[in-house]
Amino acid sequence: MVAMRAHEAKRHDLVVIGAGPGGYVAAIRAAQLGLDVACIEKEPRLGGTCLRIGCIPSKALLESSELFYETVHALAGHGIVAKDVQLDLKAMLARKDGVVDALTKGIAGLFKKHKVTRYEGLGRLAGGTQVEVVDAQGQPSARIEAQHVLIATGSTSAAPKGIEFDGDRVGTSTEALSWPTVPQHLVVIGAGAIGLELGSVWRRLGAQVTVLEYLDRILPANDAEIAKEAQKILAKQGLEFRLGAKVTLARKNQDGALVEIEGQEPLRCDRVLVSVGRKPHTDGLGLDKVGIALDARGRITVDAHFATSAKGIYAIGDVIPGPMLAHKAEEEGVACVERIVTGYGHVNYDTIPNVVYTHPEVAGVGKTEEELVAAGIPYRKGSFPFLANGRAKALGATEGKVKILAHKDTDRILGVHIVGARAGDLIAEAVAAMEFGASSEDLARTCHAHPTLAEAVKEAALAVDGRALHI
Ligand code: NAI
């Protein structure tokens, strides 16, 4: 980074605050469209939460821990004898760090390629469309005058009352990605994506894992039937679920941590992962300087084109309403800058997939069955179990199913929900089909390679019309 003095105002067409998937992708797209773009990021490494301390490192650990688990528990079934299998946690964590490192450097390379100017520091709105860059000591290090400002500052872990984070025994996903030893007993608070993914990692490495969930079900954003099936599968892997458990306190004590649950006996454990949601990150952004107000949940309100109430200032990603997902932020970033430059830019919120990277994965797009019932939309439903899929059998991955919901009268696909191996990849076909307004008949008549897991999607589409072939 070039050292800059505060009085030297720099001019750019667009300044993006935050280099997470929303911000850095928007910066690249804007540069492709010919804008002179700057991006301010407070962390030394680009990529945001997703890349540094979220999606990417967790996926690296999910892969490694799954390999370890398979080696110990499943290889014998394939006729492979692996003796004296040992865990080298240090090496596993180092590999994860290497993956992150390579990808963050990749973004720095992309910035260079697209001539995006990078400023290191905290971006602070300074009135109009001026932005100050503040260094780690709180001193302004640069002043930028831009035509447009894009806020892409993401989110941070929510910290509910009664939870005392100490950076060691009671922590968030950030700490849970780097614990130096396998906990004996890990208590996970919240059965959303983060809790289930990281709970799975440590379970596979040998921890006893108890998941406490306030609601009477896990994965509240997913289709209930699919979530129930996922719960059954994860419970078989040894995750202990306690539903209807409202945690009121979690703190470090002499020999580990203590977790108090409303109306139940407290739990003692050696580590606690708090994964009860995330909140928009707007600290130190200076929103008051430009008159941008937050809604009741701390989110920046924007119009259909991501414009805030302040002229020339836009916001995308976790900091605005909608699912807190990296790919949603990316889509918004691209649409926002395309609109600024070309006058057009659009995100189809009906086709944003969500994936939980447990083993097997849980993925969904479109409406859940509960949502259709609540909205009184008539539908037909087709399901197909992986147990009846040849490739799943060969892979030894027969758990789970595909479920397709289509409109009763028009047959248009309204939702697709999968729990099963590689569900996160399989869902892409459903997303593309829905993007083109496909009917279940369209999917059912699409030739799928044999033998593949994707045939289960075709079979579920056939099942909507009661004509699945392999069951
Ligand atoms: P979440 O909002 O998905 O789930 C939090 C869970 O905690 C809910 O089920 C809630 O009922 C429960 N809860 C809240 N307070 C509680 C209490 N006091 N006691 C017991 N349970 C309580 O949040 P999560 O998993 O922390 O994820 C945060 C955000 O990040 C979400 O928007 C999620 O979609 C996103 N994310 C997505 C990933 C993916 O797509 N694979 C991975 C990681 C995060």
- Catalytic residue chosen out of the listed positions 12, 78, 417, 450: 450
Among 278, 352, 357, the mutation site with the greatest number of ligand 1 atoms within 8 A of its Cβ is 278
CATH superfamily of 360-464: FAD/NAD-linked reductase, C-terminal dimerisation domain (3.30.390.30)
Q: What is the pLDDT of residue 103?
A: 98
pLDDT tens string 271-305: 999 999 999 999 999 999 999 989 999 999 999 99
Residues with CB under 6 A from ligand 1: 160, 189-195, 197, 212-215, 220, 245-247, 275-278, 323-325, 354-357
Pick the CATH number of 170-276 from 3.40.50.1100, 3.40.50.720, 3.50.50.60, 3.40.50.11740: 3.50.50.60
Pick the CATH number of 9-55+92-157+279-349 from 3.50.50.60, 3.40.50.10860, 3.40.50.720, 3.40.50.300: 3.50.50.60
- pLDDT for 3 beyond 50: no
Please give the distance, rounded to the nearest whole angstrom, from the Cα atom of residue 115 to the centre of ligand 1: 37
- pLDDT for 245 beyond 90: yes
Averaged pLDDT, 10-26: 98
List helix spans (H) across 279-358: 287-290, 326-342
Cβ–Cβ contacts within 10 Å for residue 30, how many?
28
275 CA: nearest ligand 1 atom: 26
Using alpha carbons, list the distances in angstroms from residue 359 to 49, 117, 189, 197, 322: 23, 40, 20, 9, 26
Confidence class of residue 8 from pLDDT cuts 50, 70 and 90?
confident
Using alpha carbons, list the distances in angstroms from residue 62 to 68, 260, 327, 328: 10, 29, 20, 22
Averaged pLDDT, 209-229: 98
Using alpha carbons, list the distances in angstroms from residue 227 to 193, 233, 361, 363: 11, 10, 11, 10
pLDDT tens string 159-177: 889 999 998 999 999 999 9
Q: What residue spans in the chain does CATH classification 3.50.50.60 cover?
A: 9-55+92-157+279-349, 170-276
- Say if residues 256 and 269 touch (Cβ distance below 8 Å): yes
Confidence class of residue 2 from pLDDT cuts 50, 70 and 90?
very low
- pLDDT for 188 beyond 50: yes
pLDDT tens string 89-144: 999 999 999 999 999 999 999 999 999 999 999 999 999 999 999 999 999 999 99
DSSP β-ladder status, 9-17 and 140-151: parallel
Q: What is the pLDDT of residue 1?
A: 44
- pLDDT for 435 beyond 90: yes
Q: What is the pLDDT of residue 7?
A: 60
Mean pLDDT, the chain, whole residue set = 97
Q: What residue spans in the chain does CATH classification 3.30.390.30 cover?
A: 360-464
| CA–CA dist 225, 403 (Å, integer) | 9
How many CA atoms does the CB half-sphere of 425 hold within 13 Å? Answer: 8
- pLDDT for 5 beyond 80: no
- pLDDT for 394 beyond 60: yes
